[in-house]
Structure formats: structure tokens, C-alpha cells
Structure 1
Amino acid sequence: MTFIGLKDSIENIIFDLDGTLWDPMPMSIKAWHTALNGFDFIKNPISKEDIQGILGMQHDLVGKKLFPYLNEGQQAEVMNSCYVQEVNDIKESGGVLYNGLEATLKILGEKYNLFIVSNCQAGYIEAFYEYHGLGAYFKDFECSGNTGMSKTENVKMVIERNTLAKPIYIGDTLGDYTAAEGNRIPFIYAKYGFGEVPKAEYTINTIEDLKDLF
């Protein structure tokens, strides 16, 4: 890992959330099992692999992938129940923060403005902030659950409404890389997350590697 040539070109850092700042899997599996138990037309139990396969996907496309045998109305009903349960579970017990996250955010926040853009549902980021007490580190956030738009468009929205100069995006999936490319901004690949980004120029193996940006 090296950030040579990158440090001087950064003033603002935009983060993905799942697989970048925390591991939501234990929380998500529990929440989805709870929610899906309420529907007798779900054919198969949801698995860890199923949920891993949709991490980073735009939230309103998930139902089509996981439940193709349901009609659109049923998909929407099921996904809404799962999403509501996730937000409730985050508020009650949170998720698994990556080691050194808050210390890293504190250090980065002394030099850079920090933001979050995620493909999650509405209320998810707020619940993350609320339970873990991390909201003060971030200047703004956006998600597909609020806008119905792609991550590329939401990153652009955060850049424009905050008039960000020299932003960078940090994430763990190919979709994150595509969002950075679509906005013509540098990208750092969080290799410890859930995706594969073979073309990433910059890579971190832990969230704490970002301290080297300071």
C-alpha cells in the first residue's frame, strides 16, 4: 500500500459504509431471518452467502435478485419488512465496527471533511450514527433509499451540494469503483471488505491504513 502522489490531491473523503466502515453481516442475517419468518410464501431460508451477494447493490434492486419467483408487490413488501427490521436492529445493538475505526476517523477528520454514500435503505446510516455515536465525524451523507438513484449519482450529489474540491471515494466493491470512475475522482479499495476490485490503483488492507494519508 502506498499513497505516493495521492495525499496532495485530497481535501474531502467520501466513504462507502458496508464492508468499508463496518461488517453488518451478523446484524443483517439476524434481521432478515426475523423479517422473513413473517411470510409464508418465502421458499428458502436466507443465507449468509445470499446477503453477501447483494451487499453494495442498489437497495431497490435487491428483491428482484433474491426473490425472482415473487411478483413486484410481494418483493416490495418483503424487502420493506427486511429493511425496517435492519434499521431497528441497528438502533438496538449496532454492528461490528472495523478495528480502529473511530481512532482513524478522528485522525482523518482533523485534516479532511468526511462523508458517506451508500446503497442502503433510508434510515440505515442514521441508525449507524445513532448507535455507534459516529455522526459527528461526518459532514453529510446520501443513500439510494433516499434518492432512488445510483451510487454514481449520489456521489455526484454529495460533491455538488457540498461544493467539494479534490474528493476521493473509498469502498470495497466494483460498484464503488464504478461510482468513483463515473465522477472522475480517485478511488481507494478496501480489500478487507466484501468485493473484488482488481483494477484499483490504491488499496488498503485495514481501515487503519488510512492514517498514512494524514
Structure 2
Amino acid sequence: MSGVNKNIVILISGSGSNMAAIVKTAQKHHWREQFGARVAAVISNKAQAKGLEFAHEQGIATAVLDHKAFANREAFDAELMTAIDRHAPALVVLAGFMRILTPGFVQHYAGRLINIHPSLLPAFTGLNTHQRAIDMGCKFAGVTVHRVTAELDHGDILDQAVVPVLPGDTAQTLAARALTQEHIIYPRTVERLLGEIASSIKG
């Protein structure tokens, strides 16, 4: 497939480890050649987000949009949409982006917006998922890739991975075990969606 016409924009707030996993998979699996796709930009709401360094090193465009500089959530999301839309994204990927998005933002990217959540949805929506799983006595926990809808952590499930909850686990040890699975299933989901987009264009 010649040329690049499927841009991916990734939103981060911190280390960007899932973003890095997606970028590395894009390189290893030749998404540019296979799908005409690339990670076009990484955008953060925090200037100190370490993931920006990795993206810059990879030659990926980066941008910082400090949510604290805006009067309200709607104003921030409007400016964020402008920054994202400069890249005409086929997919917008939330990778540790710690902001609750407005319904208008979600609607704007309907069908193109995905997120990874550190639980086996529909269990444990929201925050502190690993500690809550431990407190409830769960034997298994996991991670879920899902489409983003206006209702928090309720969109269609695209992929999941299960990890055991071991005796003596803390929220930190369980989170670390789950994160290794996030780095597997998130790039895998993005790749599958790119394939579906490519097939629909051919069809």
C-alpha cells in the first residue's frame, strides 16, 4: 500500500509505556507498508510527561496542552480536538490520558476513539481498580481495550487479558503484572482495527 493515509494520534499523561509499545509494534510489523498507517502525533496534557521524550526520539510530532490553562473542560476539549484534527486521525488512542472527556469530544471521534482500562470490564470501572480487585478477594484481574463512549468505561469491549491475583499481591505488584498484558493487547487491537479500516476501504 503506497503512501500513508491512516494517522494515529495517541494521548498520554505520563510515562507513555502503552504508547511506546504501540510505536514499537508499528515499526516491527511494518504498519506503514501493511496498512498505510503511522503514529502521527503524541499529545499530552502534562509538559513533564516522560512519554513525550520517547515520541520525540522516534521523530513523532508532539504537543502539550495544559488543561489547567483552560476555564473549563469544554474549552480544553475544544482546543484538544483542534490539535488532534491537524493530523486527520483514523484512530485516537488514549494511553494513560488522565482526563474525563466531554460528550462532545467523544461524539466527535465516535468509532475512532479507544482506551485501555486496568480491569476486566464491566467489573471495576473508574479508579483504583487493582486495590478494589484485591479487596474483593478476586482470584483474577486483567485489562480491557474498549471503544470510548460518553459513559465512562462502558464502550464495546475490543480485547481483554486475564492475570492472576496472587497471595500477598499489592495494588502495585498486580498493576505491574497487568501492565505487561496491556503492552501486548493494546498494539494488537490497534493493528486489528487498522486491518478492518483497510479492508473497508478496499471493499
TM-score after normalising by structure 1: 0.41
Structure number with the higher strand fraction is 2
Q: Which protein has greater RCO, CA pairs closer than 8 Å, 6+ apart?
A: 1
Structure number with the higher helix fraction is 1
